[in-house]
Structure 1
Amino acid sequence: MGEPVEPVPRAPLSRDRVLRAAVAHADRAGIDALSMRKLAQELGVVPMALYKHVANKEELLDGMIDVVVSEIDPPAADADWKPAIRQRILCARRVLLRHPWASQVIETRVTPTPAVLRYMDSMIGTLRRGGFSIDLTHHAMHALGSRLWGFSQEVYNDTRGGPVDPAVQAAMLSRYPHVAELAMAVSHEDSSIVGTGCDDQAEFEFALDILLDGFDRLHQR
């Protein structure tokens, strides 16, 4: 008979392991499917074991956001403020595209978490080192808003993909002609500087570049 196979020891439970398992679960099933019970099952422990590492669901969500925000690349060394800010925001966007639930959770947080504060502090520091006054820095952070995290709220839902009821279209054209013209367009004009079609990434970068160019003009005054 062969030697008995020793069971592979399970990694000890830790706060980091709990948070990363929660992030992976949300990536796979969505944030609404995450519960302490399901997370405990996935980790092979009883639910009470989780509470040694996170006090409650809210603390779990805070920790998950810290894990996600920590994936954003650090600022490029010795880069000018404008490319440095742009690079980090676009990196934040790539991170949030990997974790599509994160923007929803970020918007619900009341108190900034440590990783969020570190990220904001570094962005403010980049602007200040670039010569921005504290007043202009304040306005810039407000103007960037959620774009700091790589997402922005759309003005309207894009419904161009399906057929449109002729009666609804006629009503829109008569009551709200400019909204209808924009919403029902199949694509942007070929000469559009953000390209043809409604490309989310192109639209995001278009708005970001307008903001950064505006900050630059104010900074040069």
Structure 2
Amino acid sequence: MQQRTPLSRASIVQAAAAAADSGGLTGVSMRRVGRELGVEAMSLYHHIANKDELLDALVDWVFAQIELPTPEDSWRAGMVRRAASARAVLTAHPWALGLIESRANPGPALLTHHDAVIGCLRRGGFSVMLASHAFSAIDAYVYGFALTEQSLPFDPSASESAGDFANEFMPLIEQYPHLAELVTTLTSGRDYVFTDEFSYGLDVILDELERRLTAAPT
């Protein structure tokens, strides 16, 4: 008879993430997670007090997946590393974005994450206030981009999908010349992939932060 792996807080949270991936947050319950692990829901309460604690732990799980700046990174390299990883995690787990914005009990992974981002900026010469502004602006961009990717009516990572959608969309926008010009320019004779916009937009933000950092009084 195969021996069952002992339950742990980590295994429960991992199972909850798998349940959310397959059915969204509405599919996350103590009973559902118990089924994922092959145990009765009551067994989970030895490790997780209730569903609220499980959701808080899921937030911490999300932040634990995001790659952090290293001490060797320049501030810009660190921000690119972390922003790209955050976007990848949020895209892979569409339920995560709404969840991390709705919880008010930060765990150790979230706190470590925030401390590492702020530390990278401070090592790069950012004042406390400029670091705060930078963190806010970058997060707003990353979260907004990830939300847009999830909401688009075509596959944002495939040029063919964007082109097919543009062909269907064009008859509706012919009377809007600037919009039609944009769509035609983006999709005619080139492989337009929406996800490529991420790096360009991030560079715009980082360029302005670099300008402000350089212009700040010493």
Does the alignment reach a TM-score above 0.5?
yes
Structure 2: unaligned runs, 5 residues or longer: 154-161
Q: State how 1:60-209 maps to structure 2 within 5 Å.
A: 60-147=54-141, 151-154=145-148, 158-159=152-153, 161=165, 163-164=168-169, 169=173, 173=175, 180-181=179-180, 185-186=183-184, 188=186, 196-200=191-195, 202-209=196-203
Q: Do the aligned partners of residues 70 and 214 (structure 1) sit closer, same or farther apart at CA in structure 2, a change above 3 Å counting?
A: same
- C-alpha displacement of 1:196: 4.9
Q: Do the aligned partners of residues 186 and 138 (structure 1) sit closer, same or farther apart at CA in structure 2, a change above 3 Å counting?
A: same
Give the match's secondary structure for 2:148.
Answer: coil
Give the match's secondary structure for 1:70.
Answer: helix
Q: Matched residues in 2 for 1:139 and 1:115: separation?
A: 22
Q: Matched residues in 2 for 1:81 and 1:20: separation?
A: 32
Aligned length in residues: 204
Which is helix-richer, 1 or 2? 2
Q: Do the aligned partners of residues 190 and 79 (structure 1) sit closer, same or farther apart at CA in structure 2, a change above 3 Å counting?
A: farther
Q: Which deviations, in whole Å up to 9, do the C-alpha atoms of 1:49-106 show, x marking residues without a partner?
A: 2222222222212212212221222423422111111112112222233323212222
1:187, 1:196 within 8 Å by CA — same for their partners in 2?
no
RMSD: 3.1
Q: Matched residues in 2 for 1:112 and 1:34: separation?
A: 19
Letter in 1 for 2:204: I
- C-alpha displacement of 1:198: 4.6
- State the identity %: 37
Structure 1: unaligned runs, 5 residues or longer: 1-6
Letter in 1 for 2:192: G
Give me the TM-score of the superposition, normalised by structure 1: 0.77
Q: Matched residues in 2 for 1:187 and 1:158: separation?
A: 19
1:45 to 35, 39, 46: 39
Residue matched to 2:4: 10
Q: Do the aligned partners of residues 95 and 169 (structure 1) sit closer, same or farther apart at CA in structure 2, a change above 3 Å counting?
A: closer
Q: Do the aligned partners of residues 196 and 53 (structure 1) sit closer, same or farther apart at CA in structure 2, a change above 3 Å counting?
A: same
